[in-house]
DNA sequence: CCAGAAAAGTTTTCCCTGTAAACATGGAGG
DNA sequence: CCTCCATGTTTACAGGGAAAACTTTTCTGG
């Protein structure tokens, strides 16, 4: 009764309903080739109605991506808060949360980092992406302050860490890190490699 | 005379011409939203002609991706052959070649690793991708044999290395590794982190 | 050397999409 | 109560992908 009150003409919360339908189709197909008309159809609304809420299809996609970043940030923060205390342990937990998110939401994750979710075209999306990235930055910074990580430029460590985590997420999504093919817990193993590099002090030669 | 002989009806080498036109548009726009009809138009041929050479648009995209992998493999092999002798030096050279390729061909690189270039749908594409990956595998294997890299599971090292290189390529393409923002030669710095991790032997606890 | 099949183009056709424009409706404030 | 504005709907149009049917070359075997 309470939320099933359907008004005949005005939907009530079409904005949200469109996003939900689009997220569902994204999850179902693992791609964002769905049509705006189909989104409208599933929401029981005319094919032009979405344009009252999103300037065009790309605007809807950007909003989906933004939501994805918010959720990813939440997942990573949750993983950090519950458990590990060492910088090393926190980094592993955050990385695994990110990789798990990618595996559970492959379509959304790919959209978030695709050119179709153009951060330059949407300040809110850009902001959400930066906030997510900030989780990693803080992590590294804290680890540096307590001496766990080498005192190199923070941005260099961030580039290495982010590249590693994002690359692993991609490989995991593509099913290229299955145990049969690659041994037990390849994610853990790869993160060990990263962490050993992060912890160790510089060598002399190169 | 030799290659300018244009026959009126039959094109001569439409297959190649379509690929060239599509590659040009991919490079120009850095995306593959171009239409098959536009490719046909630029090639001076009717809009249905491409279907004689490619089953559908995705088949053309897969062929572009395949060519991309072949070129990337060539670039990496070339970087290895000319110069560095140490395993460490070779890995850096190969990685930098890959990242440079991504920066010079962002559209193509993204296509190669997008879901639109579905490796499961095209054995030739899959084969080309594996061959490129093989360059990295051989590199790591040789480095392990001469003691440069830790004797962990090869696939774990490969996952870590590939994730790092691919992740860096993505960041570089997105302009997130510019010197102003991230200090001098962040790629080199990030690769150092990886290499330190690759070289070091296991720690005891984790 | 020639018939006819196969290959490679073209035209036609269909249905679908994104998006704009014009119109309709219903709820909220004066 | 009446009018305005946000939110929907209908209508319209310019494309695009892909299939089908038709045409023109080229190739190939007898």
Q: Which of residues 35-54 of A touch strand C (CB under 7 A)?
A: 35-38, 47-48, 51
pLDDT band, very low/low/confident/very high, at B186 (cuts 50, 70, 90): confident
The model's pLDDT over A46-59, given as tens digits with 9 standing for 90+, comes to: 999 999 999 999 99
| Nearest-Cα residue of chain B relative to residue A90 | B206
The model's pLDDT over B16-72, given as tens digits with 9 standing for 90+, comes to: 999 999 999 999 999 999 999 999 999 999 999 999 999 999 999 999 999 999 999
Check residue A7 and give its pLDDT: 58
Residue A14 pLDDT > 90: yes
| Nearest-Cα residue of chain B relative to residue A173 | B115
Q: Name the minimum distance, in Å, from the CA of B86 to any CA of chain A.
A: 11
Residue A3 lies in a domain: no
pLDDT band, very low/low/confident/very high, at A3 (cuts 50, 70, 90): very low
Which residues 121-150 of A have a C-beta within 8 angstroms of B?
A: none
Residue B195 pLDDT > 70: yes
pLDDT band, very low/low/confident/very high, at A206 (cuts 50, 70, 90): very low
A84 vs B149, residue with greater confidence: B149
Residue A40 pLDDT > 60: yes
Spell out a b/e string for B123-143, using b for 16 or more CB atoms within 10 Å of the CB, else e.
eebbebbeebeebbbebbeeb
Does A45 share its domain with A61?
A: no
Residue A205 lies in a domain: no
DSSP string for A106-152: HHHHHHHTSTTS-GGG-HHHHHHHHHHHHHHHHHHHHHHHTTSS--S
Does A38 share its domain with A61?
A: no
Does B37 share its domain with B64?
A: no
| Nearest-Cα residue of chain A relative to residue B133 | A176
Residue B203 pLDDT > 60: no
| Residues of the domain holding A124 | 56-199
Does B79 share its domain with B129?
A: yes
Calpha distance B118→B48 (Å, rounded): 23
Residue A2 lies in a domain: no
Check residue B7 and give its pLDDT: 56
CB atoms near residue A201 (< 10 Å): 8
Does B27 share its domain with B105?
A: no
**Element holding B99 (H helix, E strand):** helix B87-104
Q: Name the minimum distance, in Å, from the CA of A158 to any CA of chain B.
A: 9
Does B38 share its domain with B123?
A: no
Separation of A38 CA and C24 C1' (Å): 23
Separation of A7 CA and C29 C1' (Å): 21
Residue A85 lies in a domain: yes
Which of A53-57, A182-186, B124-128 has the lowest average pLDDT? Answer: A182-186
Mean pLDDT, all residues of chain A: 91
Check residue B2 and give its pLDDT: 33
CATH number, position B180: 1.10.357.10
CATH number, position A17: 1.10.10
Show Cβ contacts of residue B169 under 8 Å, excluding neighbours closer than 6 positions. Answer: B98, B99, B101, B102, B103, B109
Q: What are phi and psi of A25, to 5 degrees?
A: -70, -35
The answer to whether the Cβ–Cβ distance between A164 and B165 falls below 8 Å is no
Calpha distance B167→B174 (Å, rounded): 11
Does A50 share its domain with A129?
A: no
Check residue B201 and give its pLDDT: 58
- Cα atoms in the 13 Å half-sphere on the side-chain side of B169: 28
Does A124 share its domain with A28?
A: no
Cα–Cα separations (whole angstroms), residue B94 to A181, B87, B101, B166: 24, 10, 11, 12
Does B48 share its domain with B59?
A: no
The model's pLDDT over A87-125, given as tens digits with 9 standing for 90+, comes to: 999 999 999 999 999 999 999 999 999 999 999 999 999
Check residue A184 and give its pLDDT: 79
pLDDT band, very low/low/confident/very high, at A201 (cuts 50, 70, 90): low
Residue B176 CB in 7 A reach of strand D: no
The model's pLDDT over A15-26, given as tens digits with 9 standing for 90+, comes to: 999 999 999 999
How many domains does chain A fold into? 2
Does B72 share its domain with B135?
A: yes
**Under a CB-based contact definition with an 8 Å cutoff, are residues B26 and B34 in contact?**
yes
Does A90 share its domain with A22?
A: no
**Under a CB-based contact definition with an 8 Å cutoff, are residues A62 and A118 in contact?**
yes
The answer to whether the Cβ–Cβ distance between B190 and A30 falls below 8 Å is no
Check residue A181 and give its pLDDT: 76
Residue B143 pLDDT > 80: yes
- Segment A25-31 mean pLDDT: 97
Residue A1 lies in a domain: no
Calculated CA dihedral for residues B81, B87, B89, B90, nearest 10 degrees: 30
Check residue B5 and give its pLDDT: 46
Separation of A17 CA and C21 C1' (Å): 25
Does B59 share its domain with B41?
A: no
The answer to whether the Cβ–Cβ distance between A167 and B164 falls below 8 Å is yes
Residue B102 sits at the chain A interface (C-beta within 8 Å): no
Check residue B9 and give its pLDDT: 64
Residue B17 lies in a domain: yes
Residue B47 CB in 7 A reach of strand C: yes
Residue B1 lies in a domain: no
Residue A188 CB in 7 A reach of strand C: no
Separation of B22 CA and D21 C1' (Å): 28
- Cα atoms in the 13 Å half-sphere on the side-chain side of B47: 4
Calpha distance A21→A19 (Å, rounded): 5
Residue B80 lies in a domain: yes
Which nucleotide is nearest, taking the CA of residue A54 and each C1'? C19
Residue A204 pLDDT > 50: no
Residue A181 CB in 7 A reach of strand C: no
The model's pLDDT over A154-168, given as tens digits with 9 standing for 90+, comes to: 988 999 999 999 999
């Amino acid at each position: 009764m309470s939320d099933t009150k359907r008004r005949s003409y005005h939907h009530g919360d079409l904005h949200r309903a469109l996003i939900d339908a689009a997220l569902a189709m994204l999850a179902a197909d693992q791609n964002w080739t769905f049509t705006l008309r189909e989104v409208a159809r599933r929401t029981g609304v005319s094919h032009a109605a979405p344009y009252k809420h999103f300037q065009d299809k790309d605007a809807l996609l950007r909003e989906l991506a933004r939501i994805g970043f918010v959720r990813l940030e939440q997942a990573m923060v949750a993983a950090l808060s519950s458990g590990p205390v060492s910088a090393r342990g926190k980094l592993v937990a955050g990385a695994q949360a990110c990789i798990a998110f990618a595996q559970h939401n492959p379509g959304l994750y790919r959209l978030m980092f695709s050119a179709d979710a153009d951060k330059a075209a949407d300040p809110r999306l850009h902001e959400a992406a930066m906030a997510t990235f900030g989780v990693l930055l803080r992590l590294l910074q804290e680890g540096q302050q307590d001496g766990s990580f080498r005192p190199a430029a923070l941005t260099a460590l961030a580039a290495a860490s982010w590249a590693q985590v994002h690359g692993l997420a991609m490989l995991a999504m593509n099913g290229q890190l299955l145990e049969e093919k690659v041994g037990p817990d390849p994610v853990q193993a790869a993160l060990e490699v990263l962490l050993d590099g992060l912890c160790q002090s510089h060598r002399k030669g190169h």
